[in-house]
Amino acid sequence: MPKSIQLNNLPAMVWLVVAVVAAQALALVVNAVLTLTDTESQQLPATALFFLIFLYLLGAVWLLAAAVGVLRGRAWPRGALIVIEVLAVIVSISYFQLGEPMLGAILALSGAVVLIGLFTPALNKHLVQRRSTTES
């Protein structure tokens, strides 16, 4: 039987990664709402608009699941977050090219923080400890 998670003993890096990923998920939800209410996006066909909002919400759910997975010390979110954050950094380059340096910087910095945080010793130790306590 797995032991309960003690949230007060988690390293700061775990909290930082979880907070940044949760903020990215919140940004996707806000983006979905803005897409739904924006008059310019109403020029899209209804099916395209529905699919775009669905993808935003699906991404938000996936990010929240990954954040919870990191918080619980699971190993699976690392691979998922690496893919997502590398894509975030790649997309940030297009924001710089489009003349939106603030959005590009926010996306690049949040992606870099998560990518670096995923490989810190504190987070690795957290994942190994959680794995060893659930296997025994």
Dihedral sign (CA 120, 59, 15, 34): positive
pLDDT at 98 over 60: yes
Res. 115 pLDDT band, cuts 50 70 90: very high
**Residue 74, both tokens:** 């699971």
pLDDT at 109 over 90: yes
Q: Choose among 77, 84, 80: nearest CA to 130.
A: 77
**Residue 71, both tokens:** 């918080």
Question: What is the per-residue pLDDT for 42?
Answer: 74
pLDDT at 3 over 90: no
Question: What is the per-residue pLDDT for 104?
Answer: 94
CA 135, chain centre distance (Å):
27
pLDDT at 19 over 90: yes
Q: How far is Cα 15 from Cα 11, in angstroms, rounded to an integer? A: 7
Q: How far is Cα 83 from Cα 111, in angstroms, rounded to an integer? A: 10
Average pLDDT over residues 83-101: 94
